[in-house]
Amino acid sequence: MAKRVALLATAILVSGCESLPQNPIYGESGIIKDRSTEYAQAQPAKRLQIPEGMDAKQTRDGLLVPELNSSSQAKAEIVAEVPRPEFFFAAEGGERASIRPLEGERVILVDEPIDRLWSEVLLFWQDVDIALETQDARNGLMETEWIRVEGEDLSPFQKVLNTLKFNSEANEPSLNKLRVRLRPDPDVVGRTAISMKHVQIPMSQGDREIDWLLDSEELPYSNEIMFTMLDYLSRG
């Protein structure tokens, strides 16, 4: 009880001293100085004067604000039309592999170097029962044989097992060929990028020679072979 009375008396004393013209505790002449108005009334100090004959650098302002003129203000009002960023879709297969854009094309990125990943991709083609016509390990290229797709002639069971599902716009029988390229990711050491190209021709044309630069197109995300390979490589 005595402690509470002492604290109350101290508070009354301090608040009472605040109203005194010559406050010995709080105020301009007191122990506790009131600085509430000093910062607002402060004036900038003069620049430091370096005595002549001393080798010292000229002090500079930390931030220079340029003056605006009418021409620069007019330029600022002109806002150029900003093009929309290219839409892309990223598919996560796991911590090891994902589908992402790279250098203007959609690729499967795998956190493995090419020499280790090459044999895994070969096993993938064996698992989906697709034969390879070309295996160029030096250039990182694989090319499948012609894949026959009979359109509506496929039985329901074949459609379930067929992981490629290539169909022409007219849903007519077609021949299809895939080219897969493995190359190092230029941004991450030890990571490999896998890109795919697809060529489709009517079955009536036969297995003719093709020009991959002119006849091929990038394999779209909607094709199941891209996701099938992504899932296969994600498992390691």
pLDDT at 210: 79
pLDDT at 22: 58
13 vs 11: CA distance, rounded Å: 5
What is the full per-residue pLDDT of the chain (236 aa) written as tens digits? 555 655 555 655 555 554 555 555 555 665 566 666 666 677 777 777 777 766 555 555 566 666 766 554 555 555 556 555 444 444 555 678 888 888 888 899 999 999 999 999 999 999 888 899 999 999 999 999 988 877 655 554 444 444 455 655 566 777 888 899 999 999 899 999 999 988 888 877 777 787 777 777 777 665 778 888 898 998 87
- Same domain? For 230 and 117 the reply is yes
- Same domain? For 30 and 135 the reply is no
- Same domain? For 115 and 227 the reply is yes
Domain presence at residue 146:
yes
- Same domain? For 15 and 116 the reply is no
- Same domain? For 26 and 100 the reply is no
- Same domain? For 169 and 100 the reply is yes
pLDDT at 160: 40
pLDDT at 92: 56
CATH number, domain with residue 205: 3.30.310
pLDDT at 119: 95
- Same domain? For 117 and 190 the reply is yes
> Taking each helix axis from N to C terminus, what angle separates 114-127 and 224-234, rounded to the nearest 10 degrees?
120
Question: Based on the structure, what is the number of domains in the chain?
Answer: 2
Domain presence at residue 41:
no
- Same domain? For 20 and 123 the reply is no
- Same domain? For 220 and 149 the reply is yes
Domain presence at residue 76:
no
Domain presence at residue 201:
yes
Domain presence at residue 58:
no
- Same domain? For 228 and 139 the reply is yes
Three-state SS annotation for 17-78: HHCCCCCCCECCCCCECCCCCHHHHCCCCCCCCCCCCCCCCCCCCCCCCCCCCHHHHHHHHC
Structure letter (DSSP) for residue 138: T
Domain presence at residue 30:
yes
pTM of the model: 0.55
pLDDT at 57: 58
pLDDT at 198: 86
**Residue 28, domain extent:** 7-36
- Same domain? For 23 and 101 the reply is no
Domain presence at residue 141:
yes
- Same domain? For 24 and 100 the reply is no
pLDDT at 77: 54
Contacts of 200 (CB under 8 A, 6+ apart): 166, 168, 174, 175, 176
Domain presence at residue 145:
yes
